[in-house]
Structure 1
Amino acid sequence: MSESQTTMQQAASPEPGERRDLIILGGGLVGMTLALAAARSGITSHVIDRADPADLTAVGADGRASAISTASWNLFRNIGIADSLDALGCPIDSIAVTDGMKPGRIDFTPKPEEGSLGRMFANRDLRIALFDAARQEPNIAWHVKTEAVRRDRGPHGVEVELSDGRVLKASLLVAAEGRQSPTRDEAGFALAKWDYKHRAFVTGLFHEKPHDNTAWEIFYPAGPFALLPLLDDEEGRHRSALVWTVAEKDAAGITAMPDAMFVNEVASRMHGVLGAISLSAPRMSYPLRFHHAGHVIDDRLAVIGDAAHGMHPIAGQGLNLGLRDVGALLEVLTEGMRLGLEPGDAQLLARYEKWRSLDAFMVMSVTDGLTRLFGIPGRLPSAARRLGMGAVQRMPTLKRFFMDEARGMSGKLPALLQG
């Protein structure tokens, strides 16, 4: 048994009957970030995840990558994992937005002194950094390969029974289980939701030409086609992540394509911007749906991340929105606990909901609007879009607004996400 495995098992075995401040259901990127940020502030937690961390961090298990905004990077720096990630992320120095590669594109390129628009990380690298830090943190009790079979919330605390028979207690229950959150559904939260009837194909590409740290967002009527810069591999090969959105009716045919045919279809949509291409990661796909919870709190319950809001990946803001949830919830809890309130206090949860509801709704509404605007087919809509994009290209103030949104530096930011 490795030293890290031993550490994890020890961290996952608190004293019987030990009550902690939080029970976090879901140990993914958002849930574990909350646990680690809380631990750095002296807040204890139980983290419950049905997955095996070894499976999640195995080579080739997940070829996905995430754009980490400037604000989210500040969070990682403030909780002490930036040093382990710094050399693994590729800066996004500019974003090129185009309607089908026709004339009239927008180039978002900040001044050198303003820094990048974000960084691209392999999800595997993010998990490894979070998991390694969590294993060393005594304030985190990590329970893996198990799940909650009973959740009770009462006036004096919460109690969760695990599938292995253990019973955990805390002041506050946090649902970070992702889009299909059983805790959210059990609480009866109403969701605004719809199906885009699209599917995102995600993979990695090797390519002949360097990407120059530029992300491409190419809009086609069938859906956006994004190329996101990654660091060169150990052999010096240039790499980018691909997120290709297609209509659900076409998805089965694309899934059935052999790799060579898939690569040809991808290349035809790239118009040679990165030269010859080949696959660098396994192909994955998932359906695209929108959901937004009207409430993100209940008695001794807070909902964060994809459990609270699921959005189109068009702007790469899904994970960043979840990390803003983390920062806001932690700030509310730490300030309240400093005043002698417990984490499950209704006043604190109400403040969290008020803070996050408007921000999340605004980001998701803009993302949904862009998806629908660029999905209108035909020459006239395309011409109108390109006319508008040309106007934005010539307006520095408007471009700066969009760049601040991409960095996640707009609105009321939690302290952990500030510079």
Structure 2
Amino acid sequence: MRGKPTDLVVVGAGPNGSLLALAAGEAGLGTALVDRLPLDALVDPAFDGRTTAIAYTSQRLFSALGVWPELAGQAEPILDIRISDAGHDGRPSPLFLHFDHREATADDGSEPPPMGWIVENRFLRAALLRRLAACRQVELIAPDEVVETRRDADGAELTLRSGRRLTTRLVASAEGRFGALREEAGIGARSWSYRQIAIVLVARHERPHRGVAQEKFLPGGPFAILPMRDGPAGEHRSSIVWTEEAALARRILDTDQARFNSEFARRFGDHLGQVEPIGPRWSYPLSLVHAERYVDTRLVLVGDAAHGIHPIAGQGYNLGVRDIAALVEVLIDGKRLGLDIGDAHSLERYARWRRADNFTMVAATDLLNRLFSNDVPPLRLLRDVGLAAVNRMPPLRRFFVRHAMGLVGDLPKLIRGERP
């Protein structure tokens, strides 16, 4: 049951793996995408209740691959971001930091675009899978899973549970933070638990959010209010990522609806009028994982398989998007030169390209969470003064806005909206 050799096998059909398979296929690489779950299960509303922040440059990649028309109707622009510190009562400090998308100059001098968009994960997954189904260079293999892997200088062979064998030049792990392929390759990782749980839900509120995303730093962790599209009945909605110390989060999740709503409303505040949670609650333990290296013989790590970070800045998926854009560009450059795309030198180019950007974000999110997830008075004063100081420095604000949009650094062609 050995099929025709492929250029690339991607393991894991989540948002990173699906995007990598699509980008590689659209660039002309023969690609197979393998996942242990049926593909329709990945788009079930009960499977994933989270939303994803898609940065401006990530949206350019989605446009270049033809995905954005599938998503635009479900995406809510992020026009402003307001960051504030708050105490146990949920009331924000009068000192804050406010980012306006108009502070970032557009590349062509026109009105700057949004800093990003908020999209429900179920819509993101569905759009990617629809585009993949139409891509002739990609074979979707699900449900199935890798049970044995052989990798050497000549190529790689994967044996699936179904008995099928895939031969390929390169294997990409997009399995997430604790993928089997990374462990099998003996790639170590720096990792730790934050002893925090993110409670994820959707809230309905009386007044419109006007495209403003808010991050309130509470003693137990950040409380993010992310703008969503209005609901089917015209109700104003926001996606909530509510971080608490793990033991307290479990107690809150176990309370009855009335007590849960009360605890939630106290933290949310009254800036959008009356507010209440709607729909189910999800919870996710938070941790950090950063692989010691991103490549091995005929193996490359992308997205959370290489770096899983705290959601405090909403940039985790965008790091993975930049991984994918860089990797596909490296592979296509090698193919044009007649080189083996799984060659160690090509993979090292990818690893060098992505290491600094990823390490910077890993370190920054870890530091921010440690600095803000407490109620130590001297630190609270330092935080408030620091936020207010940055707020009064337009050049520094502009730099942070451009960084949030993904406009800083050595950008791959797909991130610039170009074909590799």
TM bin, normalised by shorter chain, reads: over 0.9
Is 1:17–1:169's contact at 8 Å kept on the other side of the alignment?
yes
Misfit runs of 4+, over 4 Å: none
Task: Indicate the larger mover: 268-277 or 391-400.
Answer: 268-277
Partner of 2:384: 386
Partner of 1:49: 35
Instruction: Report SS of the residue matched to 1:326.
Output: helix
**1:145-182 alpha-carbon deviations (Å, 9 max, x no partner):** 11000011022111011111111111001000001100
Partner of 1:234: 232
Partner Cα distance (1:260, 1:161) in 2: 51
**CA deviation after TM superposition for structure 1 residue 93, in Å:** 0.3
The aligned runs of 1:197-346 (5 Å cut-off) are 197-346=195-344
| Residue identity opposite 1:309 in structure 2 | H
Partner Cα distance (1:306, 1:25) in 2: 13
Partner Cα distance (2:76, 2:97) in 1: 21
**CA deviation after TM superposition for structure 1 residue 378, in Å:** 2.4
Partner of 1:106: 97
**1:121-162 alpha-carbon deviations (Å, 9 max, x no partner):** 000111111001111111111111110000110221110111
Say what the alpha-carbon RMSD is for the aligned residues. 1.2
Match of 2:45 among 43, 59, 63: 59
**CA deviation after TM superposition for structure 1 residue 204, in Å:** 0.9
Partner of 1:154: 152
**CA deviation after TM superposition for structure 1 residue 282, in Å:** 1.5
Is 1:215–1:227's contact at 8 Å kept on the other side of the alignment?
yes
The aligned runs of 1:31-42 (5 Å cut-off) are 31-42=17-28
Question: What's the TM-score once normalised by structure 1's chain length?
Answer: 0.95
Partner Cα distance (2:236, 2:199) in 1: 20
**CA deviation after TM superposition for structure 1 residue 213, in Å:** 0.6
Is 2:2–2:167's contact at 8 Å kept on the other side of the alignment?
no
**CA deviation after TM superposition for structure 1 residue 381, in Å:** 1.5
Partner Cα distance (1:343, 1:204) in 2: 43
Partner Cα distance (1:139, 1:301) in 2: 20
Instruction: Report SS of the residue matched to 1:363.
Output: helix
Question: What's the TM-score once normalised by structure 2's chain length?
Answer: 0.94
Task: Indicate the larger mover: 397-406 or 372-381.
Answer: 372-381
Partner Cα distance (2:348, 2:291) in 1: 15
Partner of 1:28: 14
Match of 2:365 among 364, 367, 381: 367
| Residue identity opposite 2:326 in structure 1 | A
Partner of 2:169: 171
Partner of 1:12: none
Is 1:19–1:170's contact at 8 Å kept on the other side of the alignment?
yes
Instruction: Report SS of the residue matched to 1:111.
Output: helix
Q: Which runs of 5+ in 1 are unaligned?
A: 1-14
Instruction: Report SS of the residue matched to 2:6.
Output: strand
Is 1:63–1:281's contact at 8 Å kept on the other side of the alignment?
no
**CA deviation after TM superposition for structure 1 residue 273, in Å:** 1.6
**CA deviation after TM superposition for structure 1 residue 250, in Å:** 1.1
Is 2:174–2:305's contact at 8 Å kept on the other side of the alignment?
yes
Does residue 1:73 correspond to 2:64, yes or no?
no
Is 2:81–2:212's contact at 8 Å kept on the other side of the alignment?
yes
Instruction: Report SS of the residue matched to 2:94.
Output: coil
Partner of 2:107: none
Instruction: Report SS of the residue matched to 2:200.
Output: strand
**CA deviation after TM superposition for structure 1 residue 16, in Å:** 5.0
Instruction: Report SS of the residue matched to 2:369.
Output: helix
Task: Indicate the larger mover: 235-244 or 112-121.
Answer: 112-121
Partner Cα distance (1:253, 1:62) in 2: 22
- Residue identity over aligned pairs, in percent, reads 41
Partner of 1:5: none
Partner Cα distance (2:277, 2:63) in 1: 32
Partner Cα distance (1:168, 1:381) in 2: 54
